[in-house]
Amino acid sequence: MITIIDIGCRYGVFHMFKHCYEKFRYIGVDADSSEIIRLNKKYKGKNILFESAFLSSRKGAIAFIEAEHKGYSSSKKMNTNSLWFGLVRNNEVGIKKQIQIESQISGDWIDANTKTNLLLKLDIEGGELDFLDGLENRHYNKIEGFVVEAHFDTPYDTDSNFSTIYNRLQKNGYWLVSAEIESEKVTKFSESKDTIPICSTAIFLKERYKPFLFDSEDIDVICEVLYSLRLEALLLEYCRQLGYAKLKELEIFYEIKYLIGHKFNRLKKDISFDFDELNREFITMFNEELPKLSDFYESDFFNPV
């Protein structure tokens, strides 16, 4: 099974993974040791590990700025000339204090704490390039993808932003699969059409996740990554190619069946599809028929207690 590493896990499990974090190995990492203590109490009894660490390209003591808004604490200074801190969040730029913390090389930490294929989420307030600088080729080989909160300008005094992160990951063999854009009105005269893109939650995956490059190696890994990210269309396309004989061997077979069943139940309301077409596809993947009409909602599998 894959390991999901949430770098910058303040407030708990990232919303994208709430449906699946206990099915895989999930490690939350944050530089704030007090937040890690809080999260370990909050998630006590859950299949999850939280660890306090600051990961970058260097080892040793570094200056760390504790912000009044804890989510903005960083090793980088806030850039009040940016759209984010200069305009959108200009009332949240207060600083509590500067402290010294120990930095670990990101690649060394990965070597010491993981053995399986990885899915990484990065939300580290301007430290993304520093984290990536600490990785070597062997680390990229085992990292299937990245989920990154990336700003389009530079809210911190650093070169880390959407453009530089995109270029770095593309250079290392990843492509942009999805980007959820947060836009803001920047003047009181702005209408919806005038909003400006400020930041994104972007998903990058290895080249082999492109539909025309799907391969039959690491079937379990590919399905686990697509399922955990809820990339339903890509997962569905891959499962169509695999067929029932291969799908039934997966540990998450029933989770995939549930996800695709609900997708088909939505799609059958689209005039582009008819039920017979969707039913044939469902039989190919799961060796059973898709429940019709009210039968779907009466199903204990698709509508559990």
The yes-or-no verdict on residue 216 having pLDDT over 90 is no
CATH number at residue 36: 3.40.50.150
pLDDT tens, 92-149? 999 999 999 999 999 999 999 999 999 999 999 999 999 999 999 999 999 999 999 9
Mean pLDDT of the chain: 96
Judged against a pLDDT cut of 90, whether residue 167 lies above it is answered with yes
Give the structural domain span for 252.
Answer: 232-298
Residue 232 in tokens: 């339903």
Domain presence at residue 216: no
Residues 121 and 261 in one domain: no
The per-residue pLDDT for range 220-249, each reduced to its tens digit, is 999 999 999 999 999 999 999 999 999 999
Are both 42 and 169 inside the same structural domain?
yes
Q: What is the pLDDT of residue 83?
A: 92
Query: Does 290 lie in the same domain as 194?
Result: no
Q: Report if residue 285 sits inside a domain.
A: yes
Residues 196, 268 within the same domain:
no
Q: Which two tokens stand for residue 139?
A: 């680390």
Burial class (CB in 10 A: 0-12, 13-18, 19+), 255: middle
State the pLDDT at residue 273: 94
Pair (75, 152) in one structural domain: yes
Considering the domain architecture, whether residues 29 and 130 belong to the same structural domain is answered as yes
Do residues 177 and 86 both lie within one domain?
yes
| Residue 213 located in a structural domain | no
Each residue's pLDDT tens digit, 16-49: 999 999 999 999 999 999 999 999 999 999 999 9
Mark whether 48 and 180 lie in a shared domain: yes
- Give every CB contact of residue 303 below 8 A, 6+ residues apart in sequence: 296, 297
Q: How many domains does the chain have?
A: 2
Task: Please provide the DSSP assignment of the chain as one string.
Answer: --EEEEES-TTSS-GGGTTTTTTSEEEEEES-HHHHHHHHHHTTTSS-EEEE-EEES--EEEEEEEESSGGG-BSS-B-TTSHIIIIITTT---EEEEEEEEEEEHHHHHHHH--S-EEEEE--TT-HHHHHHT--HHHHHHEEEEEEEEESS-SBSSS-SHHHHHHHHHHTTEEEEEEEEEEE--STT--GGG-EEEEEEEEEEEGGGSGGG--STTHHHHHHHHHHTT-HHHHHHHHHHH-HHHHTTSTTHHHHHHHHHHHHHHHTTSTT--HHHHHHHHHHHHSSPPPPHHHHHH-TTTS--
Q: Please state, in angstroms and as integers, the Cα–Cα distance from residue 218 to each residue in 24, 113, 208, following that order.
A: 16, 21, 11
Residue 225 lies in a domain: no
pLDDT-above-70 percentage for the chain = 100
- Evaluate whether residue 226 is within a structural domain: no
With respect to residue 144, please indicate whether it lies within any of the assigned structural domains: yes
Which one of 193, 208, 223 terminates a domain?
Answer: 208
Question: Do both 113 and 256 map to the same domain?
Answer: no
For residues 171 and 93, membership in a common domain is answered with yes
The reply to whether 108 and 58 lie within a common domain is: yes
Give the predicted TM-score (pTM) of the model: 0.95
Is residue 178 domain-shared with residue 113, that is, in the same domain? yes
With cut-offs at 50, 70 and 90, classify the pLDDT of residue 268. very high
Residue 181 lies in a domain: yes
Residue 215's pLDDT band, with cuts at 50, 70 and 90, is confident
**Residue in this structure with the two tokens 């080249």, named with its chain if needed:** 207
Per-residue pLDDT, 22: 95
pLDDT of residue 256: 98
Identify whether 303 is part of a domain. no
Give the pLDDT of residue 302.
95
The amino acid sitting at 273 is F
C-alpha to C-alpha distance for 193 and 15, rounded to whole angstroms: 28
Q: Which residue bears the tokens 């060394």?
A: 108
Q: For residue 217, what pLDDT band results from cuts at 50, 70 and 90?
A: confident
